[in-house]
Amino acid sequence: MNIKYTFTKGMVMKTSLQTGLTALSLLGVLTFGISASRADCPVPPSLNQCKTCHALDASKPSRATGPNLHGIPGQPALHAADFKGYSPAMKAAQAKGLTWNDDNLFKYLGDPKAFLAEVNGEPLKNAMMFQMKDETKRKAAIEGLKTMAACQ
């Protein structure tokens, strides 16, 4: 609010009325924002790179290039039953009890191959051919996965 306009009583009232109206319209925008994202679930920008290979909407099947990731935070590995291309390393890691908590997602996205080798205790040939080295982007991508999980 612009403080310099609050020097007369009338102006004070006008200012607080404006504040009230601003708050109301802001509430409207927020409510609209929430209902809009529930309706069409836009993919958060932090997941833009993932879209190249992964479907992120609950309603879509896995693509040939990667498993559907909808709702994956907190879930065991081999999340998408319809994805046929899981690597032997991912299957082995799932058998060892790999779950996609924040820590594991963070390590996996930074270096999928090294992470699965660490989980399995042996080197591997095939893995997600994608790395996200930037830690801030990686954290944002994990939050993006949670945002998607919360809608639909």
Q: Interface with ligand HEC includes 69 (CB under 6 A)?
A: yes
* 65: amino acid identity, one letter: T
Question: Closest approach of Cβ 15 to ligand HEC, in Å?
Answer: 45
Q: Specify the stretch interacting with ligand HEC by CB under 6 A; choose among 4-12, 19-27, 35-43, 62-70.
A: 62-70
Please identify which residue in 41, 44, 54, 147 interacts with ligand HEC, judged by CB under 6 A.
54
Angle at 11 between CA 9 and CA 15, to 5 degrees: 120
Question: Closest approach of Cβ 38 to ligand HEC, in Å?
Answer: 22
Token couple for 146: 């949670």
Angle between helices 102-110 and 135-149 (to 10 degrees): 130
- The size of the interface with ligand HEC (CB under 6 A), counted in residues, is 30
Angle at 139 between CA 66 and CA 88, to 5 degrees: 30
The C-alpha atoms of residue 149 and residue 70 are separated, in whole angstroms, by 6
Question: Pick from 88, 80, 85: which is nearest to 56 by CA?
Answer: 80
Please identify which residue in 41, 55, 89, 148 interacts with ligand HEC, judged by CB under 6 A.
89
Residues at the site binding ligand HEC, with contacts judged by CB under 6 A: 47, 49-50, 52-54, 65-67, 69, 72, 77-80, 85-87, 89-90, 100, 105, 109, 127-130, 132, 141, 145
